[in-house]
Amino acid sequence: MIKQQTLNVLGAISLLALLTACGERMSFKENIKTIQAAPGAPGSPPPSTEELYVDSTPQCVVDLPHFQISGNVNSFEFQSSFGINFGYTPGGNYSGTSGSVSMKVSKAQMDLVMIGKDPLTRALATSSNVNSNQTKTDLGLTIDFSQFQGNPNYYLSTPLAKVSQKGLELALKDFKKQSDQQLWVGRILKNINKEELMVNHGSQAGLMKGDQFEIYNVDHFWEAEPCTSAYVGSKRTTSAPVAIVEVDQLSQSSSVTKYVFKGKENIRRGAEVIVKKLQPNGNQARYLKKKITLGKISAKPFQLPGNILFDMESVINSQLITTIHGSGTYYFEIK
Amino acid sequence: MFRFLVALILVSSLAWADSSLAKTRVGIHIAKDRWLTLTDGTRVTQGREISYLLANQLFNFSEFEAVLLDNDEPVHLDLKVTPHIETLLYASGSRSNRLVYGFAPDRVNIFNSGIEGSLENEFVASGEEASQCIKPDFFEGRFNTHGWGPLSSNFGANFDEGFVINIAGYGIGFKQKKFEIKNQIRFAIEDMRSGKKQDLIFDIKAYGKDTFIAGSYSGFALGLEIQRRETLIEALKKILPIAVDGIIREGLIPLNHKGIVEKVKNFSEEIEIKMPKTQRAAVQANALGSCLEKSGNWLEDSIEGIFSFYAYWRYKKILDQPLKSKISALPLNVSNIKVAIIDSGIDYNDKKIGKNVIRFSGDQVLGFDFISWDSRPSDDNGHGTATAKYFLKTIKTDYAIIPIKVIGPFGDTHSSAIYDGFSYAVNQKVDAIVVPWAPALKLTEAYKRGAQLAAQNGIAVFVAPKSMEPGENIFVATVNGQTAFKTKGLGKMHLELPADGVAVVDEFNLWLQNTRGNNK
């Protein structure tokens, strides 16, 4: 990894020396020939006024979540006290037709992959695999499966729900560990006036009045038309922040900030907002919640005792919402 | 100089800040589910989990960035991976008792492809049969043998499993079931940077054996199905991480460093599946708990147990034999009319029958066994041999039999085997096909489609009464006073071709006389 980065830097040095000698600003357009400049994208003529410049920033980068969560339940298995298996595994469904409708369940387990996608590159930003060994739970309780008929949510009141809850909690815990290593990034929603900027996070994310943020303009690169073609990557226009702002007013989902420092570059719509300093909150350490979009956790339907078809997918997705709410780590919207 | 240094620092910091610049972005398509259907009607599926596990695993490699291609959104990629499940085969038992299920690139048809839109195996136990441990009879008794206990023509066919001792109606025994699972996953890789493509093919063979306690015969048969499913599921659970790890270490990492140099790379691995004792006990408890009270004929079972050595001798010497050198079979280039008998195989080592089969090479007869998937279509039930003997008795024209086995020793089959039987006959360009049996009316889709396929290829097909509508090249026999043909074979056992089978052969004989005359 270090070798690769060193090579990158060395490659960049040679390229840069060439470009600097020609007195030109380095542009990705010249590095990646397949990239075509679209209006507002690097390489296109610079906008003449501040308003136009901000508006020309592609809409799709303005209010982005940190991740889009989705996943797959690879297996969900439970066993009766007589040793009969129910549910499914990557190898397929157990038959589940035998066994009485009211049955003692001795143990259950689940294998779950939960992923967080970068909303622009679609690449995995986080990925957790909670396996059966981690979720294996001894239950020893009787469940009346006839109650599932026409009411899949009955699942949530059974001890089986503990197993999927455990799986989701473990996945989220791992998820948090991974996402903590990534920067909290906000976006500029709007240039309100010459003194104020609107940021796409507010009290829901845990922002407080007086919090300070650095602002960076970012060039985004697409393979063709911005927002509709494949996203290639991004580059900050400067290594130093183009502005530093401080939260002045808060609503649930956005905040109004005032300039503490303003450089020469105009702030673009969609510019990155990075934490500089958070106001102290007594002795408690403060962190900001990341915004996520909830996709779908896929799960296969399977036969319960008594030949009842159980649609696990709808239930596990509603359980995911409650689990994320309960974790207090993220705030989200459902797509 | 100052300008150069500032720019240098800027670009260096950018390269460090965005480490993703150094990563190879790999897009992974969601694998399409494929399945095989076991005889208890349950599906064993493999598919989308491969993609999720691969994405998750790739995430842990610093040189890759994984993208799960689960929708149509455009994504910028360096490599694109599409997993295809190409083979999922389950084989259990050996010799006469070998049964092969599933699909592979060279054995796929509309009844076994296990994809959306394909047809299902019709020969599965109903829910009621499965829950009550009733062994299904798909042929309304036509493949029931006519001897009793050790005198039945299929006696010894399943000796590879061991035996059951039955006392006072409660059977118990210790049986060993050997199984093999073949799983081939092809990862189609496209390097978006160079436009080159590569197929990485993983062949994973899992094998194992399970010793387990069995109940009486009826229960035991269904107990095996439970066993099949459990062992298959267990194997696929183990195979999946191996395939995923393999594609990364053997495929993506070398490919990322050296680029695509070969169009196809093959990898193979063998693993032994050992079920934990507790899990095995649970499976056995399941089989026993459901089926113990379903006793068959306990006296017959007990006597069969006593005759175990005789069963072993039949298993080794009579059933599932290659073509013996002393048999004066026909040469490959024989000009006789070629007739395929789609049945339970035939005893081509019977001297008289053997004169009418074609020696393909060495000890191999021209024909195929679609139950065990081998080139020994020998009979271990008796029905097919009875048909061949009725040929000997009634047909006076020169002919060559191409035996095609689609029914196992205990009347077990699947739609794929039946359809494949007809396809094989078409590929062998036979002149006629004789099918002297039919399944119960609701189970005839593979039978009908197979017969129609052959008829469309200009082959005269002779089928059992009421099995389907007659048509061009399709001759549906009618029973006009015929009775069952009784004979002996497979080690002097009583064999019988029921009346509807006799009618089919008679119909074929009539056609033969009308088209070829009597040349003997």
pLDDT 10s digits, A140-189: 899 999 898 888 899 999 999 999 999 999 999 998 899 888 899 999 99
Q: Which one of B1, B5, B8, B12 makes the best mutation probe of the A interface by having the most chain A beta carbons within 10 Å?
A: B12
Q: Contacts from A237-240 at CB under 8 Å and sequence distance 24+? A: A237/A265, A238/A263, A238/A265, A238/B10, A239/B9, A239/B10, A239/B13, A239/B14
Q: How far is A252 from chain B (nearest CA, A)?
A: 30
- Kindly state the tokens that stand for B38: 């076991």
User: Is B449 in the same domain as B498?
Assistant: yes
Ranked by mean pLDDT, which of A43-57, A177-191, B231-245, B366-380 comes out on top?
B366-380
Q: How far apart are CA B167 and CA B161, in angstroms?
A: 19
Gap between the Cα atoms of A192 and A63, Å rounded: 16
Ranking A88-92, A187-191, B239-243, B272-276 by mean pLDDT, the lowest is B272-276
Same domain (yes/no): B215, B187: yes
Same-domain status, B491 and B423: yes
The answer for A 76-105 residues in CB contact with B (under 8 A) is 79, 82-85, 89-95, 97-98
What is the complex's ipTM, to 2 decimals? 0.74
What is residue A230's predicted lDDT score, i.e. its pLDDT? 84
- How far lies B472's CA from each of B26, B425, B433, B458, in Å? 55, 17, 14, 9
Q: What are the distances in angstroms from CA A77 to CA A87, A94, A303, B49, B237?
A: 5, 9, 11, 15, 13
| Cβ pair B16:A9 closer than 8 A | yes
For residues A204 and B10, the model is more confident at: A204
Domain boundary among B265, B297, B314: B314
Q: Is any Cβ of chain B less than 8 angstroms from the Cβ of A34?
A: no
Helix H, strand E, coil C: the string for A5-48 is HHHHHHHHHHHHHHHHHCCCCCCHHHHCCCCCCCCCCCCCCCCC
Residue B515 has pLDDT above 60, yes or no: yes
Asked, for residue B6, whether it belongs to a domain, the answer is no
The verdict on B195 and B277 lying in the same domain is yes
Per-window interface: A 257-286 vs B, CB < 8 A = none
User: Measured between CB atoms, does A233 come within 8 Å of chain B?
Assistant: yes
B287 pLDDT higher than 80: no
Residue B399 belongs to domain with CATH number: 3.40.50.200
pLDDT for the residue numbered A4? 44
What was the pLDDT predicted at B168?
Answer: 53
Distance CA A257, CA B382 (A): 89
Q: In which band, very low, low, confident or very high, does the pLDDT at A303 lie, cut at 50, 70 and 90?
A: confident
CB neighbourhood size of B516 (10 A): 14
Q: What percent of chain B has pLDDT over 70?
A: 81
Q: What is the pLDDT of residues B430-450, one digit of tens each?
A: 999 999 999 987 888 999 999
**Contact residues for B404 (Cβ-Cβ < 8 A; gap 6+):** B340, B341, B342, B343, B367, B368, B370, B377, B421, B424, B425
**Domains of chain B: total:** 2
Report which DSSP code applies to B247.
Answer: I
A309 touches chain B (CB under 8 A): no
Q: Are residues B264 and B297 in the same domain?
A: yes
Could B20 and A121 be called an inter-chain contact, meaning their C-beta atoms sit closer than 8 Å?
A: yes
**Average pLDDT score over residue span B61-72:** 90
pLDDT confidence of B276, banded at 50, 70, 90? low
Residues of chain B contacting A8 with CB distance shorter than 8 Å: 15, 21-22
Give residue B148's pLDDT: 79
Q: Could you give the 3-state DSSP secondary structure of residue B384?
A: helix
Residues of chain B neighbouring A128 (CB-CB closer than 8 A):
56
Q: Which two tokens stand for residue A72?
A: 């797959």
In tens, the pLDDT along B375-423 reads: 999 999 999 999 999 999 999 999 999 999 999 999 999 999 999 999 9
pLDDT at B100 exceeding the cut of 80 = yes
Which of B267, B185, B277, B273 is closest to B235 using CA atoms? Answer: B273
Q: State whether B326 and B272 are in the same domain.
A: no
Given a cut of 50, whether residue B59 has pLDDT beyond it is yes
Size of interface A-B (CB pairs under 8 A): 181
Query: What whole-number distance in Å separates Cα of residue A224 and Cα of residue A230?
Result: 7
Residue B412 to chain A, least CA–CA distance (Å):
20
Last residue of a domain, one of B265, B295, B314: B314
User: By the CB < 8 Å criterion, does B514 face chain A?
Assistant: no
B289 with B403, same domain?
no
What share of chain A has pLDDT > 70, as a percent?
79
Mutate to test the interface with A, among B6, B59, B278, B293 (most CBs of A within 10 A): B59
Q: Helical H runs in B60-201? A: 127-132
Shortest CB distance from A83 goes to which of B7, B14, B281?
B281
CB contact under 8 A, A122 and B75: yes
Interface of A with B in 120-139 (CB under 8 A): 121-124, 126-129
**B332 has a pLDDT exceeding 60:** yes
Report yes or no: A265 and A237 within 8 Å, Cβ to Cβ: yes
pLDDT, average across residues A82-106: 75
CB–CB contact B130 A97 (8 Å): yes
Residue B473 lies in a domain: yes
Please give the pLDDT value at position B27.
95
Specify if B294 maps to a domain.
yes
Q: Which two three-digit tokens encode residue B218?
A: 């009826």
Rounded Cα gap, residues B507 and B512, in angstroms:
9
Give the pLDDT band (50/70/90) at residue B499. Answer: very high
Matching CATH number, A39-61+185-287, of 1.10.1740.10, 2.40.10.410, 3.90.105.10, 2.60.40.1220:
2.40.10.410
Which positions 62-101 of B are in contact with A (Cβ < 8 Å)?
62-63, 65-68, 70, 73-77
Domain-embedded: residue B201: yes
The answer to whether residues B192 and B80 touch, using CB atoms and an 8 Å cutoff, is yes
Whether residue A32 has pLDDT greater than 50: no
Whether B346 is in a domain gets the answer: yes
What single-letter amino acid sits at B472?
A: E
pLDDT at site B163: 65
Range of the domain at B358: 320-516
pLDDT of residue B335: 92
DSSP H or E run through B272: strand B264-272
Q: Which residues, including other chains, have CB under 8 Å from residue B369's CB and lie 6 or more apart?
A: B345, B375, B376, B377, B378, B405
**B195 Cβ neighbours under 8 A, 6+ residues apart:** none
Q: Check CB contact under 8 Å for A13 and B285.
A: no
Dump pLDDT digits (tens) for A218-255. 988 888 788 888 888 888 989 999 999 999 999 999 99
**Minimal Cα distance from A305: which residue of B?**
B131
Asked if residues B177 and B92 have their Cβ atoms less than 8 Å apart, the reply is yes
Phi and psi for A15 in degrees, rounded to 5?
-65, -45
Alpha-carbon span A300 to A53, nearest angstrom: 48
Q: Which residue of A has its CA nearest to B289?
A: A82
Q: Residue A108: pLDDT above 80?
A: yes
Query: With an 8 Å Cβ cutoff, are A8 and B76 in contact?
Result: no
How many C-beta atoms surround the C-beta of residue A162 within 10 A? 14
Q: Region A256-266: what's the mean pLDDT?
A: 94
pLDDT grade for A48, boundaries at 50, 70 and 90:
very low
Same-domain check for residues B361 and B440? yes
Inter-chain CB proximity A122 and B73 less than 8 Å: yes
pLDDT mean across residues, chain A: 80
A26 touching chain B per CB within 8 A: yes
Would you say B101 and B392 are in contact if contact means Cβ atoms under 8 Å apart? Answer: no
Domain boundaries, chain A: 1-31, 39-61+185-287, 72-112+122-181+297-312
Contacts of B3 in chain A (CB under 8 A): 20
Please tell me whether residues B141 and B48 are part of one structural domain: yes
Chain A hits for B289, Cβ within 8 Å:
82-84
Which of A1, A95, A238 faces B40 most closely, judged by CB atoms? A95
> Rounded CA gap, A234 and B503, in Å?
79
| H-assigned helices in B182-216 | none
B444-468 exposure pattern, b = at least 16 Cβ within 10 A, e = fewer: bbbbbbbbbbbbebebbbbbbbebb
Look at residue A45 and tell me whether its pLDDT is greater than 50.
no
pLDDT, averaged across chain B: 85
Q: Which of residues 224-243 of B touch A (CB under 8 A)?
A: 226, 229-230, 232-237, 240
Q: How many CA atoms lie within 13 A of A233 on its CB side?
A: 21
